[in-house]
Amino acid sequence: MNPNLLNFDAAQLTDFFAEIGEKPFRAKQLLRWMHQRGEADFSKMSDLAKPLREKLAAHASIWAPQVVSDTTAADGTRKWLIDVGKDNAVESVFIPEANRGTLCVSSQAGCALDCKFCSTGKQGFNRNLSTAEIIGQLWIASRALARDVGATPAPDAASDQGAAPRGERLISNVVMMGMGEPLANFDNVVAAMRLMLDDNAYGLSRRRVTLSTAGIVPAIDRLGEACPVALAVSLHAPNDTLRDVLVPINRKYPLAALLAACRRYLDKAPRDFVTFEYVMLDGVNDGAEHARQLIDLVRDVPCKFNLIPFNPFPKSGFKRSPRETIRRFAETLLAAGLVVTTRKTRGDDIDAACGQLAGRVEDKTRRTRRVVEIQPC
């Protein structure tokens, strides 16, 4: 079967051209056609010689996963359900804002980490996505959004300074926060992120690509060496006892090891802080003592907190913390000198909000599902 060139980053594509007897610079040309122009038809790549186009058609292909559904919420949030084969589908979400457009990308069909408040985890786990299936979500979204406004999918790179995107760039930020644990699919995720960063592909800055992890410590260290981007950590608890239950990977990589990895990562990171994500669960992790424990926990880690109101899904066993509770929690952290934001819930009317992505997963784990009763610590 001919290779799908969406699976290749620049280095891999250069190797492919060498194998078929072509010059290395052809890789840059093809990257621009595939990712900047969203073109999958070799015959339309006009600056490639006709014999090369014919050779590519004979020896390679370009294809992204098929879109099952495309839904837009009342607030403009847009969600794609994407078929990844064998009864599995993943979801990616575009969140438009005044000064940016953020695409949330999935990395696995399901998730094996089983975080107790996450809809994806309730679906079980099937497999890792390929590089083509990961970058294909950006490819699909870029093409779809560009069609809406009559623009090219990936114009000149946005400014690194945090300003509004230039020109017609519709996707200015990518967050690896969709279905799955990105660091459990390390090689394919890194290859996809390299394409996001490549000036011949999507040209995003490292500050505008964020990877969110539940805390696979050795892989955080590998990421710092291989492809340092902005780092977000799904913290969700201020102590090991509670986090062992909410985020079971903590039993293998407890908080002390995780925070040490965060400090090491900052030596390579494009930002000078780590973002700690903290879902607010009523009566579980949202008390005054939890806030005080968090302050002590992160005292020597440059960070900011993103408080996430829990987004309900069927049989979760949790409730969202009241607005006033979240406000008091944030004020306690702010008073200690921490940077704190509270995430605005977007797309919850189409189940596109944080923690609600479920897709369709043919579960290979066969794990028994049950609601876990958690007592406040």
Q: Residues 91, 133, 181, 277: which is the catalytic one?
A: 91
Place of tokens 């926990």: 297
Q: What is the distance between the alpha carbons of residues 170 and 149, in angstroms, rounded to a whole number?
A: 9
Q: Output the CA torsion sign for 329, 281, 237, 306.
A: negative
237, 218 in Cβ contact below 8 A?
Answer: no
104 counts as catalytic: no
**91 in active site:** yes
The one-letter amino acid at 115: C
Please tell me what DSSP assigns to residue 278: E
- Rounded to an integer, what is the distance from CA 225 to the centroid of its chain? 19
For residues 16 and 18, give the distance between their C-alpha atoms in angstroms, rounded to a whole number: 5
Do residues 95 and 347 touch, judged by C-beta distance below 8 A? yes
Which CB contacts under 8 angstroms, 24+ apart, belong to 82-89?
82/106, 82/133, 82/136, 82/137, 82/140, 84/109, 84/129, 84/133, 86/126, 86/362, 87/360, 87/362, 88/126, 88/127, 88/359, 88/360, 88/361, 88/362, 89/359, 89/360
E strands within the chain? Answer: 66-72, 78-85, 88-96, 101-104, 108-110, 125-128, 173-176, 209-213, 230-234, 274-280, 303-309, 339-342
The span from the CA of 237 to the CA of 249, in Å, is 13
Integer distance in angstroms from the first to the last C-alpha of the chain?
55
Q: Please give the positions annotated as active site.
A: 91, 354
